[in-house]
Amino acid sequence: MIRRTAILKRIFAVLALSLSPPLHAATLEQLANDPYWIALGHYETGKLGGWRSYVDDDDFFLAEDGDSNPAAELQATLKALYQPAELGDRHPQCVYPARTRWLKAQLQLDDLPSPDCAEYRNWIADVNPHSTVLVFPAAYLNSPSSMFGHTLLRIDQPDIDSHNTALLSYALNFGAFIEGDDNSILYAWRGLMGGYPGLFALVPYREKLSEYNRLENRDLWEYRLNLTAEETARMVEHVWELKQIRFDYFFFDENCSYRLLELLEIARPGIELTEHFPLTAIPTDTVRAVKDAGLIERIDYRPSRERELLARAESLQADEEAWVLRLNQDPARLEDADFLALPAERRALIQDAAFRLVRYHANDEERSSNAQRSFQLLGAINRNPPPPLEVERPPLPEEGHQSRTWQLAGGSRDDRAFAEYGLRMAYHDLNDNLDGFPLGAQIEIFQLKLRQYENNHRQLQRLDLANIRSLTPRNALLQPLSWQVGGGLERVLGEDGDTRLVGHISGGAGATWQLHDDLLGFALGTARLEYNEDFAAVIAPALGFNSGLLWRNPLGNLTLEAAGDYFHNGEVRRRLSLNQQWEMSRNLGLRLSAQREFSQLASPVNEVKLELRWYHY
């Protein structure tokens, strides 16, 4: 069916050849190279010259070589616009309203047929585009597709502010289209390699709000853009052209954020957003680019259910938190004499916290049980309402450091001086400058470290493909699991005190506790699979531990860690380490690192390093 449609388009284009007006070659070339036509075709400069389109779907193009020849696609489009009006909704004017409008304006095409585009007319009337909001659901470590956050656009109708009708708006989203139930590892791999098609979707905003803010317990940031009604409509009409049109989807560059930047360039011709992202497009960086382009008019914040629950429970005592847990399980205990003996204002806070806890767990429990408990607690809240909930707004995500990091270090390893050069593509570790990031979250992708010792000996020190840690503290109401996973190449102690470059995959799980304000303690059990040529069996498994402290102090972040691996072949490897970062500015940090390594294959080794870290996209 798809191939038949493509053939019909070519036939219609040929039939329309005699009807279209002649176009001078110079005019054709000028229009084909116009930035707006390039944007409409999603073209980029090819690696070996010429053009290529990001669109990976033949149905989008009218010319045979339209994906690599903007001039041929423009000429084919112009011819197609003169096809008979009787085609109705299948007429190219109906299929390509953005191209039609632009070509009519550029060439004063007053003699075009007038097909009845009923489907498009009804669709655009239903969407009723008037203004645009860029929505950023914050990073969510427990979902591979959402670790770096996400961006989408909300298309608002004219009465959004006067009638407070944001939930009736539409969300414009670009994402990977997944058929079947791929596990997280396969999902991450295929996402990295472009194994999924990417599609635009226009869905009710309330559905996306539920998905991100409720189901995944993620904060939402809403950036109202200063696009005019005309600019918003121009963008939405191009979205009609992209319905069911496939793009290759890549997590780090051709992703949700990059595609939305392309739409904003269509909405407001002349702004340059995508050119800032030749290698990767991390959502926070794209939000920063939109802000730097002067597009943001206002910022609104929607806290997640988790943040609202913790804010309500912040003032509760230990015995009151115990009542929250009891009421969460059995709201009938609202009538217990011990509970009724509490002051009314304290009962109001407890009831509200219990209701929020029930709602927090709503997705993990049976709907009927959850609804009944929610109803009972709501009744109690109505009879004894709590004071309005005030949630402190965290720092803006785009005010954090930029995602790529260059590193320059000098140090000493057992009296051998060295220099070290590093690059991390993305995007944050436990010690990095904290503003805009949650304490205890780490996502590092592709980190390379090269070391040069004083005798001019150079070596690859480490290559991390991924290193992810989630240290979320437990409390009386919530018991999240802390975990970590990583893999790549690294140097470890070998025989005779030498260092061996080994490959590894490792992970662990455990718990984190809030020991004091800005002080976390964590303990994880770990597992490791290592390729090491010093071992009799070069691939060896190990069990171990990783524990320590994370302290947010006046200088920056400090970590103190103890880790160990116990291999099945009898090798025991342990490490003590301390890292303190001094946050010199938003995008500049100075880190002092010290560690002592132990191995049965060699004597203990001490290492001290001072590292300058420059965060730069």
User: In Å, what is the CA distance from 329 to each residue of 354, 360, 402?
Assistant: 9, 13, 44
Sign of CA dihedral 275, 278, 282, 288: negative
Q: What pLDDT is recorded for position 12?
A: 46
CA–CA separation, 153 vs 250, rounded Å?
19
Q: What pLDDT is recorded for position 495?
A: 78
User: In Å, what is the CA distance from 436 to each residue of 215, 258, 351, 403?
Assistant: 22, 21, 32, 12
CB 80 within 8 A of CB 62: yes
DSSP letters, 61-101, are -SSTTTTT-HHHHHHHHHHHTTS-GGGGGGSHHHH-HHHHH
CB 32 within 8 A of CB 70: yes
Residue 394 DSSP SS3:
coil
Q: What pLDDT is recorded for position 142?
A: 63
CA–CA separation, 13 vs 302, rounded Å?
49
Q: What pLDDT is recorded for position 195?
A: 59
**Owner of token pair 């670009």:** 174
Q: Enumerate the β-bridge partners of residue 562.
A: 547, 576
Q: Enumerate the β-bridge partners of residue 409.
A: 420, 611
CB 616 within 8 A of CB 402: yes
CA–CA separation, 594 vs 577, rounded Å?
6
Q: What pLDDT is recorded for position 597?
A: 94
Residue 331 DSSP SS3:
helix
Residue 283 DSSP SS3:
helix
CB 316 within 8 A of CB 323: no
CA–CA separation, 211 vs 458, rounded Å?
49
Q: What pLDDT is recorded for position 65?
A: 93
Q: Indicate left, alpha or beta for 274 from its phi (over 0: left) and psi (-120 to 50: alpha).
A: alpha
Q: Pairing between strand 296-302 and 416-428?
A: unpaired
Q: What pLDDT is recorded for position 216?
A: 59
CB 376 within 8 A of CB 587: no
Structure tokens, 321 = 């938190």
DSSP H helices, 164-255, are 184-193, 205-209, 229-241
In degrees rounded to 5, what are phi and psi of residue 498?
Answer: -75, 165
Structure tokens, 297 = 């008019």
Structure tokens, 505 = 């995959």
Question: What is the mean pLDDT for each group of 10 consecutive residues in the chain (617 residues)?
Answer: 46 46 70 93 83 91 93 94 93 96 92 93 94 88 66 89 76 74 54 67 84 70 95 96 87 79 93 84 89 94 90 94 94 93 95 93 66 90 94 90 95 94 93 90 93 91 93 92 94 83 95 94 97 88 97 96 94 96 96 94 91 93
Structure tokens, 130 = 């008037």
CA–CA separation, 21 vs 82, rounded Å?
9
Q: pTM for this structure?
A: 0.86
CA–CA separation, 312 vs 379, rounded Å?
18
CB 80 within 8 A of CB 90: no
For residue 93, count other CB atoms closer than 10 A to its CB.
Answer: 23
Q: What pLDDT is recorded for position 2?
A: 44
Structure tokens, 377 = 């607690």
Closest CA to 439 of 468, 467, 470: 470
CA–CA separation, 226 vs 281, rounded Å?
22
Q: Diameter of the chain by CA atoms?
A: 90
Query: Where does residue 190 rank: exposed (0-12), middle (13-18), buried (19+ CB within 10 A)?
Result: middle
Q: Enumerate the β-bridge partners of residue 525.
A: 509, 545
Q: Pairing between strand 441-453 and 416-428?
A: antiparallel
Structure tokens, 166 = 């944001």
Q: Enumerate the β-bridge partners of residue 488.
A: 464, 504
User: In Å, what is the CA distance from 112 to each residue of 73, 78, 83, 106, 396?
Assistant: 18, 10, 9, 14, 49
Report which residue type is found at 151.
Answer: T
Structure tokens, 254 = 């051709």
CA–CA separation, 299 vs 165, rounded Å?
17
Per-residue exposure over 211-233, b if at least 16 CB sit within 10 Å of its own CB, e if not: ebbeebbbbbbbbbbebeeebbb
Q: What pLDDT is recorded for position 288?
A: 92
The residues near 519 (Cβ < 8 Å, ≥ 6 apart) are 549, 550, 551, 552
